[in-house]
Amino acid sequence: MSLRDVPWKEPHMQDDMTSPGGEVTRDEDLLARVASGDERAFETLYGRFAVAVRAFVRARVPDTGMAEEVCADVWLGCWRSARAFRGDAKVLSWLLGIAKRQITMRVRRARPNVTALDDAPEPRDDGPSPETAVLSETGMDDLTALLRRLPVELVETATLAWLHGLPYRQIASLLDMPEGTVKSRVSRARRLLRVQLNQQDDADGKER
């Protein structure tokens, strides 16, 4: 498969591959199918994670054209290197690791429009989880909308932790920061999200 053969469709969040029992195919199983040359599995994996990969890259590569090139390289790398996946991290972590390496290579070439990883945007778990409350009472779209209102340095960390379920250790590795910083950012994001929810509840109460 060449680069022009990669299925660059608009990413979507809906899975279209299920197991015989009707369950959504696991990410790891999809990647195993990609390793065996299954293009439909590749399209499904792309549909699941293209948005996350693109956001990760765009936060570090301001130039739109260059960011798209990096994203293309990530998915081409996924197709070519799927057999190398050892299963010791989540599939998204593995994909973002590819993205990180691609960006680092471009930084080393001293391309002027690329932001170094250390300059890119930068989570203590206490009390009930407001993100869980949002998901149980409303849904993923509502949580995503609330996350966008957070300070920019918290959005990526909270998104990786809450929407994609990455462990703090993997987030710290991907974002080049101490695990303690990841925990403090998630904690701060949680507090701010709780404030947003309380304000929303107060507004709903006044409307009644």
* Tens-digit pLDDT profile for residues 43-94: 999 999 998 999 889 888 888 888 899 999 999 999 999 999 988 888 999 9
Rounded Cα gap, residues 159 and 90, in angstroms:
15
| Interacting residues of 54 by C-beta distance below 8 A, sequence separation 6+ | 11, 67, 71
- Average pLDDT of the chain is 77
End-to-end CA distance of the chain: 58
Structural tokens at position 110: 């001293």
Per-residue DSSP letter, 18: B
- 16-50 pLDDT tens trace: 565 555 677 899 999 999 999 999 999 999 999 99
Q: What is the pLDDT of residue 78?
A: 95
Nearest residue to 131 (alpha-carbon basis) of 53, 67, 194: 194
Q: Tokens at residue 149, please?
A: 């209102």
